[in-house]
Structure 1
Amino acid sequence: MFEALVERGFQIEFQSHAQAILSVDFPEAIQELELALLATTIPIEEIIAGGGGEAKGTQRLRNALNNLSWPKTEFIVERRINGVPRESQSHEVDHVRTFPSGERVALEIEWNNKDPFYDRDLENFKRLHADGAISVGVIVTRGKKLHDNMRSLVRRFLDERQIQTFNDMKQWGYEPTSRQRRAIETKVGRAINPLSFRDAFTGQFVSDKFGEATTHWRKLDDRLRRGVGNPCPLLLIGLPDTIVTFHEGKEALAEVEAAETADSELDL
């Protein structure tokens, strides 16, 4: 199961019999997930220009899932006494696949949120599973290799584009905050063990945008070891560093710039 994903470096883990449930009851879900994930790429320029927020590549993954009938879904669970509603809870899940039988598989993508979002997702899955609303929960997140190799990916971008200054970064869609600029300048200009601009920028960018307190595989694994979400059957998918590409160049910025323009127009 998911052999093509594993071959490409994706991390795949199952909890609470999710593998058996998916293979027997939801083979279509397996095929659809593999189809969407194998097509997922994130140009390094999008990671840089996005400043660490959700990359356009993960938004394209969302669109691919939506096109495969995995839309955002709100679940409303009510408690009634003699037909009178007494309390209700709502749970919104970003992607839900509903099958003809009425059974559902729920999926959340955690590219680069604060790590407590895992608690929300896993507890939502647990409650929805207990209430019979879903059969399996899926979380797609940054895999261990992608998280651990983020510095080398950013540094490779700086080396290949011959980045030497903040002005060089500007042409690639990234402008640091005043705090980030001061921190980088301090590391470059210090008398003892000064860093090159590329080293200083890489360290600051990655620690600020993809730090240990964000959503990545180890933080998810910490929750699972504590039993968060148990006993909901879970499929966990870690995005590998192989999805990051380097050949798009300035063309990769077009989608980022278009999205920023659209957001600005909405704010007017």
Structure 2
Amino acid sequence: MTVRPVSAAVPFGALREKGFDVLFLSHARPILEGEFSDALQELERVLGAIELPISEIIGSGGGETQFTQRLRKALAHLGWEKHIFEIGKTIDGVPRESTSHEVDHVKYGSTGVLALEVEWNNKDPFYDRDLENFKRLHAEGAISVGIIITRGRSLQESLWDAVHRFAMERSIDSMEQLTENGVTPTPKQRANILKRVQRVKDPVPLAIAWTDNFVSNKFGQATTHWDKLMHRVERGVGNPCPLLLIGLPASIIAFDAAKVEPMSEEDVVD
């Protein structure tokens, strides 16, 4: 399956100017433009207003990020609410089998249904779950289009620089200062960081050693980001369900001075 970039005339022009990745697959664009134009406008307004403070990138853990919670609440406020689809089969009036499919955000229109999942920072096999779920629901006539919002390519590529900037702006050059800023590496992570910092040959500044460790542990290649999603759809995962895929850009990062909530760096959250 060949994935081609969308043309400049597609919806979400304002988002594309901000660096959002936008991809329509399997006739999703005409379906959405023709039958769900209001829903498209809602999505554009919500996504155009979101901001991701660097303090939340550093401090999120142990559950959904504050950023993800804000996005979910904004969608739910507009009627994009969680729903469990129950699909059953009956033979001569006797139920034979039943399956359920939970989707975090569902929007009902006059002619169909949209299903949306947010994959901010999960293990990348969750894409397989989402896409196969959309495929089954579409095959049963339960949804018209499946939508995934995830970390975009520019955001994934900018995370190291953003985290290092956080360390430099807060003058973090010791483990004590890391702790004062709400970051407590696990014993294993601490040992790996200090091993590079304290080695005799070519020691590494703590800000760099910590940034390397933090980004690889929390936002590594095995987590949900645009390139991993593209690998799935290029293989045809989810096909032929119409899909709208949206990648959040680096431009949403805001370098705030807020206190970081204490966390464990090992946490990978949705």
- Length-normalised TM-score, structure 1: 0.91
Mapped pair 1:150 → 2:150: no
- Hey, what's the Cα distance between the residues in 1 that align with 2:250 and 2:177? 25
Q: CA deviation at 1:153?
A: 0.4
More helix by share: 1
Q: Which amino acid aligns with 1:85?
A: P
Of 169, 185, 202 in structure 2, the residue corresponding to residue 176 of structure 1 is: 185
3-state SS in 2 of match to 1:113? coil
Q: Secondary structure at the match of 2:165?
A: helix
**Relative to structure 1, is the Cα distance of residues 51 and 196 closer, same or farther in structure 2, using a 3 angstrom cutoff?**
farther
Alpha carbons 2:55, 2:256 under 8 Å: kept: no
State the alpha-carbon separation in 2 of the partners of residues 192 and 167 from structure 1.
24
Contact residue 143 and residue 217 of structure 1 kept, 8 A: yes
Deviation at 1:51, TM superposition (A): 4.7
Residue pair 1:42, 1:58 contacting (<8 A) in 2 also: no
Distance 1:247 1:177, change over 3 A: same
Match status 1:231 vs 2:216: no
For 2:67 and 2:33, the matched residues in 1 are separated by 28
Alpha-carbon contact 1:50-1:174 (below 8 Å) kept: no
Give the equivalent residue in structure 1 for 2:201.
192
Residue of structure 1 in register with 2:98 after alignment: 88
| CA spacing shift, 1:63–1:41, aligned 2, 3 Å | same
Q: Deviations over 1:154-203 (max 9, x none)?
A: 00111111111222122332211111101101111112221100010000
CA distance in 1, matches of 2:201, 2:24: 49
Q: Which residue of the other structure, out of 117, 137, 145, is the alignment partner of 2:126?
A: 117
Provide the rounded CA distance (Å) in 2 between the counterparts of 1:185 and 1:82: 69
CA–CA distance in structure 2, aligned partners of residues 171 and 83 of structure 1: 65
Give the corresponding residue for 1:107: 116
Deviations 1:109-137 (A, max 9, x none): 00110000000000000000000000000
The answer for the alignment partner of 2:267 in structure 1 is none
Provide the residue aligned with 2:71 in structure 1.
61
* Corresponding residue of 1:12: 22
Q: TM-score, normalised by structure 2?
A: 0.90
The number of residue pairs the alignment matches comes to: 253
**Aligned residue for 2:50?**
40
Letter in structure 2 aligned against 1:57: F
> 1:29 is matched with which residue: 39, 52, 61?
39
1:72-124 C-alpha deviation (Å, 9 max, x unpaired): 110011111112111111100010001234x1100000011000000000000
The alpha-carbon distance between structure 1 residues 52 and 16, as it changes in their structure 2 partners (threshold 3 A), is farther
- Alignment match, 2:229: 220
Which segments of 5 or more consecutive residues in structure 2 lack a partner in the other structure? 1-10, 263-270
Alignment partner, residue 70 of structure 1: 80
2:88 is paired with a residue whose SS is strand
Say whether the 8 Å CA contact 1:142–1:217 is kept in structure 2. Answer: yes
